[in-house]
Amino acid sequence: MANSKFEYVRTFETTDALLPNTWIVVRVDGRGFTKMCAKYGFEKPNDRRALDLMNTAAKAVVTDLPEITIAYGVSDEYSFVFHKACTLFERRASKLVSTVVSTFTANYVFSWSTHFPDTPLSSPLPTFDGRAVCYPSVQNLRDYMSWRQVDCHINNLYNTTFWSLIQLGGLDNKEAERTLAGTLAADKNEILFSRFSINYNNEPEIFKKGSVIFRDVSLGTTSQGQC
């Protein structure tokens, strides 16, 4: 950049480099996805097409950014883990987050027609926000990933029971909410099995535990699996 009398404005920029020698997790979340799910008629409680689309977009991010070691996704969110030695963009949070979010969003929109061939996108288009958090130890990182997966299990068990009460039990939303108020996991499993002959253990793993994308170092490729 050429020197000029206007260059002083750079002094207003803030330094946002993330802590060195820490695992960086950038989490992407859908914005207004409750309305979007209703708009495009996503299947309840889970739409496999929507989850596959999320995985397609996430795999593109992992492929594009080799500094990412693993990614975990559930519902409308995805967490991308950058290794501790990452120096991409000098570890600037704004650069890392904006790159992950924009790459994810672009591939989500680009791949939409592959997963929803009969449902064209219309304005407003899907968008995502993001944040970056540093974790100093492997144990901290493991606890973060466990937290997200536990959240996946809790939400999916509730949603599976909630929508079974509505779709199979004939209840409305408020009646289903009242039925589930104060229930524990065992209670929800009992409702599913006794009322609808649904064994929650037989539900697809991707619904119960989410998806993982990891880098196969020996092959130099990315792989996708279910937790």
Residue 118, annotated as binding a ligand: no
Please give the structure tokens belonging to residue 20. 């060195």
- Beta bridge partners, 27, equal 79, 131
In sequence order, which residues have a C-beta less than 8 Å from that of residue 12 and are 6 or more positions away?
Answer: none
DSSP letters spanning 68-95: EEEEEEETTEEEEEE-TT--GGGGBHHH
Residue 29, annotated as binding a ligand: yes
Tokens 């499993």 -> residue? 189
* Edge-to-edge strand ranges of the sheet holding 68-74: 128-135, 23-30, 77-82, 68-74, 211-216, 221-226
In sequence order, which residues have a C-beta less than 8 Å from that of residue 9 and are 6 or more positions away?
Answer: none
Residue 220, annotated as binding a ligand: no
Helix, strand or coil, per DSSP, at residue 89: helix
Q: Sign of dihedral through CA atoms 185, 190, 193, 199?
A: positive
Helices (H) and strands (E) in the chain, counts: 7, 6
- 141 in Cβ contact with 25 (< 8 Å): yes
Amino acid of residue 62: V
The rounded distance, in Å, linking the Cα atoms of 80 and 28 is 8
Binding residues: 29-30, 75-76
Binding residues for Mg(2+): 29-30, 76
Binding residues for GTP: 75-76
